[in-house]
Amino acid sequence: MQRQHDVVVVGAGPVGLMFANLLGGYGVSVLVVDQLPSLIDYPRAVGMDDESLRTFQAAGLVDEVLPHTAPNQRMRFVNGKGKVLAQMLPSTLDFGWPRRNGFIQPLADQVLLEGLSSYPNVEVRWGTSFVDLAQDADGVDVTVSAEHGTETMRAAYVIGSDGGRSGTRKALGMEFEGKTSSTRWLVVDLASDPLGQPGAVIGADPKRPYVCVGLPHGVRRFEFMLFDDESEEMVDTPEFMAKLLDGKVHDPSRIEVIRRRVYTHSSRLVRDFRSGRVFLAGDAAHIMPVWQGQGYNSGIRDAANLAWKLAAVLRGQCDDTLLSSYDAERHGHARAMVDLSTLVGAWVSPTSRLVAGARDLFLGSLTRIPAVKSYLVEMRFKPMPVFTEGAVAPATSATKPSSVGRIFPQPRVDTREEADVLLDDVLGPWFSVLVWNNDPHTALSEQTRARLRELGARLVWLRPVRELGWRDRDRDDVLLVGDRAGRIQQWFQDADDSVIFLRPDRIVAGACPGQRADEMVADVLAALGATAAGSASSVGSVGSLGAAR
C-alpha cells in the first residue's frame, strides 16, 4: 500500500493535538483520529508548568492559551486544623514563563485544535476509532472504523496518544506496569467560583483529604477522598455535596456544578515508549496521581521530545537511530514524575490521626530549616530532564556537572531588528549553535558550517546587549543576539563552555570551550544520526512556527 500519511496520531487529546501542531509546523503530513465526536468539554487537568508553556510557544500558540491560565499559582499544603505544612510559590522565569499556572484544559485543547487550521498538511477525523495496526520495515498499516465503515491506511509512523486505556498500547501487546489505588476520589468543578480566591490548597486532613483550586474564568475545582461505605448513588445527591462543601464555601446550596466525577489514582508506566515504528505518549505511556499536576505536562514533554525527531528522520536529515532516543530520554524522567506524584499522595492521604499527626510534626520541623523551606517554595524538588544518553554528546563539555542534556534557559533578548523578545522566538523552531563572545565563523571550520547548513542549524553570536551595535564582522548567515539582562552571560560564567549546540526542544545537545567546537559539533551530529546530506523529499521544509500565526 502506498503511504498516505507521514504520521498517524491516535487520540485528539492535548498530547495528540500538540504533536499535530509541532509536526504540522515542520511540514509533516499528519492524520489525527479520535473515537469521540468532538473535544471533551469538561475541565480535567488544572496545572500547566513553564515547560508546557514553552512548548505552546514553540507551536506558535502561547498568546492564545495565556488568557486561559492563572500565572504564579501558589500551592499550600494544610493539615486538618488549617495549619500550613508547606507551600510552593516559585518565582523563577528561567524558561521564560511562570513555573506554576492554573488553567482550563478544554479551552487550552480548543486552542490546539484551532491551531491546526494553519496547516493544510494536517487532518483531524472525529468519530473514528482505532481498530488495529500492522507494521513492517517500511511503514505501518493502521485500521480505523467510522460511520462509513472500516478503512486501512498506511503511514511511516504512528503515535498512540489515546489515553490510559490505549488501544494502540494493547495492539502492541505492551504491559502497563504499576498499580491503581482502590481509593476513590470525587472531583467537582464549580462555575461562579464561590470563593474567588487565587491559588491552590491541598488539604491533608485525616477526616477527609481534599483539594481546592482556583482556576481562570470563575471556575473552582474541589476534589474529595471517598470512603468505602459511600456509594456512587450517595455521592450523586445534593445532600452529600452540601456535606462535603460545608465549611469550604459559605453557602453550599448556592453552587453551580459544571461536572461531578468519581475516579481513582493510578501509577503506571510502559516498559518501552517505542515499538518499531509506533510510539506511545501521554497517558498511553504513563499515568500518575494528580498531586504534582504533572500528568498533563509529562504528555506535552513527550510531544516536545519526539516531534522534531520524527521531522528530522522524515526529512532525511537524520537516520532512524535518532528515534530510539525518545524512549532513552523520556522513560526515566516520566518514571521520576510518577514516583514523585505517588510519594506526595502518600503524604497527603493518611486518614489515621496518629499517622497524620506524625507527618505534621515531621514536616513542621523540616520547614523551619530555611534551606528546606526555600527548596519547597521554589519547587527545586521537581525532577528536571537531565539526559546522559540519547541524542546528546557530553564528551567535549568542560563544565562539571555538564550542562549537556539539560534545558537551556530562555531570557528576553535584543536583536538588531527587535527589542525585548524571548530567546526561542529569535532562534526559530529548529537547531542552533550558540557562541558566546566569538564569531561562529572563527569557532567553526567551513566544513563544519557546511554540515550545519545541511541540518538547517542556525549560527548565533551571543554578546552583551551594549555590543549589539558593533558591526565589525557582520555575516549574512550569523544571527546577532544581545543579552538584554545578563542572564545568558551568567549562564556562561557558571560554565566552562562557550559554544553550545541546541536541539529544537531547547535541550543542550553538546557544549565545549571555543577551540573544541568542530569536535563537539561532529559528536552531536553522530549522536543525532545526522546523514551526510539531508533530503526534504518526503515532507515540507522547516518553517518558523511563530511567524506562521
Residue 142: name the closest of 161, 120, 158 by CA. 158
Q: Domain 412-548 is in which class?
A: alpha beta
pLDDT per residue as tens digits for the range 211-262: 999 999 999 999 999 999 998 889 889 899 999 999 999 999 899 999 989 9
DSSP string, 137-195: SS-EEEEEEETTEEEEEEEEEEEE---TT-HHHHHTT--EEEEEEEEEEEEEEEES-SS
Give the whole-angstrom CA distance, residue 427 versus residue 459: 9
At residue 541, the pLDDT reads 42
pLDDT per residue as tens digits for the range 27-59: 999 999 999 999 988 778 999 999 999 999 999
Q: So where are the chain's domains?
A: 5-68+104-178+267-346, 412-548
Residue 539 scores a pLDDT above 60: no
Of all residues in the chain, the percent with pLDDT exceeding 70 is 95
Write down the H helix ranges in 456-547. Answer: 487-493, 517-528
Residue 102: name the closest of 218, 202, 192, 216 by CA. 216
Q: Of 204 and 538, which is predicted with more confidence?
A: 204
At residue 363, the pLDDT reads 78
At residue 95, the pLDDT reads 93
Minimum mean pLDDT range among 243-257, 317-331, 460-474 = 460-474
**Residue 351 burial (CB count, 10 A):** 14
What is the three-state SS of 84-149?
EEEEECCCCCCCCCCCEEEECHHHHHHHHHHHHHHCCCEEEECCCEEEEEEECCCCEEEEEEECCE
Superfamily per CATH, domain 5-68+104-178+267-346: FAD/NAD(P)-binding domain (3.50.50.60)
Give the whole-angstrom CA distance, residue 46 versus residue 201: 13
**Quick one: residue 224, left, alpha or beta (phi over 0 = left, psi -120 to 50 = alpha)?**
beta
546 pLDDT band, cuts 50/70/90, is very low
Residue 359 scores a pLDDT above 90: no
Q: Cell 528515534 appears where?
A: 323
Give the whole-angstrom CA distance, residue 23 versus residue 388: 26
Residue 85 scores a pLDDT above 90: no
**pLDDT (average), residues 66-80:** 92
Do the domains 412-548 and 5-68+104-178+267-346 match in fold? no
pLDDT per residue as tens digits for the range 135-170: 999 999 999 999 989 999 999 999 999 999 999 999
Beta carbons of 77 and 85 less than 8 angstroms apart: yes
How far, CA to CA in Å, does 16 sit from each of 112, 286, 543? 9, 14, 20
Give the whole-angstrom CA distance, residue 240 versus residue 306: 45
Residue 90 scores a pLDDT above 90: no
311 pLDDT band, cuts 50/70/90, is very high
Rg (CA), the chain: 24
pLDDT per residue as tens digits for the range 264-277: 888 999 999 999 99
pLDDT per residue as tens digits for the range 390-423: 999 999 999 999 999 999 999 999 999 999 999 9
Residue 291 scores a pLDDT above 80: no
Residue 346 scores a pLDDT above 90: no
Q: Give CA angle at 220 (219, 225), nearest 5°.
A: 145
Of all residues in the chain, the percent with pLDDT exceeding 90 is 72
